[in-house]
Amino acid sequence: MLVTTKKMLNDAREGGYAVGAFNAENAEMVWAIVKAAEELKAPVIIQTTSSTLKYFSPAYFAALAKAAAESVSVPVAIHLDHGASFELAKQCIDSGYTSVMIDGSALPYEENIRVTQKVRDYADNFGIPVESELGKVGGKEDDTESDGNEYTDPDQAADFANRTGISSLAVAIGTAHGIYAKKPVLDFNRATLIKKVVPIPLVLHGASGLSDDALREGVEKGMSKINFATELRIAFTDAIKAHMAEHPNDFDPKKYLNPARIAVKELVKAKIQVCGSVGKA
């Protein structure tokens, strides 16, 4: 069933677990994400980034997510990840997305508040929850790029959440998008401090490549939503490469895409288990 992220993330915050949020690039990955969630009876979030929505439109992914959600019994949300503008967030809401993120973290503080309020005001007309980001998550993923980390300040986070009225907050504690070149220095205690003064679910970006122990600590210290993207793309592509290496003459896409979607499904299941959301549907 297709739902918004508001209840599932509030339940996760109260229950001490996290909901896995997984970036999809195509129908196969949407299938993999919802099938994994169904097998583990877990709530799940399908995400698309701004660059993915240049490849296929929000309406395309909203329709895919709706069809996928209707095929399973667990709660499924479709979320805009790192929305680059009010216009894109509006387009996603109008197309049927059940959650959006507006990422103004690269803007000056007051401008971040202004654009976040604008998106929230529009989303409120449709009962759609809004995620925003404060601080800067390093690295590069699609159109999102930062040359370093700017850790989220707890007091500023409290002010930001209060003034914007958002439903969830992505915080910077030392993670980075993409592949880690070296072991990150993570400040999970900062997440605990933020959770004490921010009464909404916290979101961890840049989780691909983190150890299971680090992810579990993130959940323990207050993360209610954890985003995964790069690892899924790698699993999908590696499975295709392996199939074609063994069957170089295959030309039917179903032959090489099926192993890819199965690989993503198994990876999603593993991440759901680490998030602690098995059986929480």
Is 243 annotated among the ligand-binding residues? no
Q: Which of 183, 161, 160, 187 is nearest to 173 (CA)?
A: 187
What interhelical angle do 27-40 and 253-275 show, nearest 10?
A: 40
Is 168 annotated among the ligand-binding residues? no
Is 229 annotated among the ligand-binding residues? yes
Is 227 annotated among the ligand-binding residues? yes
> Where does residue 91 fall: left (phi above 0), alpha (psi -120 to 50 degrees), or beta otherwise?
alpha
- Running DSSP on this structure, what letter comes out for residue 251? -
Strands 144-146 and 138-141 come out as: antiparallel
Is 178 annotated among the ligand-binding residues? yes
d(CA 1, CA 273): 21
Is 213 annotated among the ligand-binding residues? no
Q: Is there a contact between 46 and 28 (Cβ–Cβ < 8 Å)?
A: no
Is 82 annotated among the ligand-binding residues? yes
Q: Which residues pair with 79 in a beta bridge?
A: 47, 99
Q: Is 81 a catalytic residue?
A: yes
Is 208 annotated among the ligand-binding residues? yes
- In Å, how far are 115, 134, 183 from 111, measured between CA atoms? 6, 12, 33
Planar angle of CA 205, 124, 121, nearest 5 degrees: 85
* Three-state SS at 7: helix
Is 277 annotated among the ligand-binding residues? no
Is 230 annotated among the ligand-binding residues? yes
Is 133 annotated among the ligand-binding residues? yes
Give the DSSP per-residue string, 63-98: HHHHHHHHTSSS-EEEEEEEE--HHHHHHHHHHT-S
Is 89 annotated among the ligand-binding residues? no
In the structure encoding, which two tokens stand for residue 212, read together? 């299971």
Amino acid letter for position 38: E
Exactly one of 81, 142, 187, 250 is catalytic; which is it?
81
Is 79 annotated among the ligand-binding residues? no
Residue 144, φ and ψ in degrees, nearest 5: -95, 120
What are the binding residues for dihydroxyacetone phosphate? 178, 206-208, 227-230
What are the binding residues for Zn(2+)? 82, 103, 133, 177, 205
What are the binding residues? 82, 103, 133, 177-178, 205-208, 227-230
Catalytic residues: 81
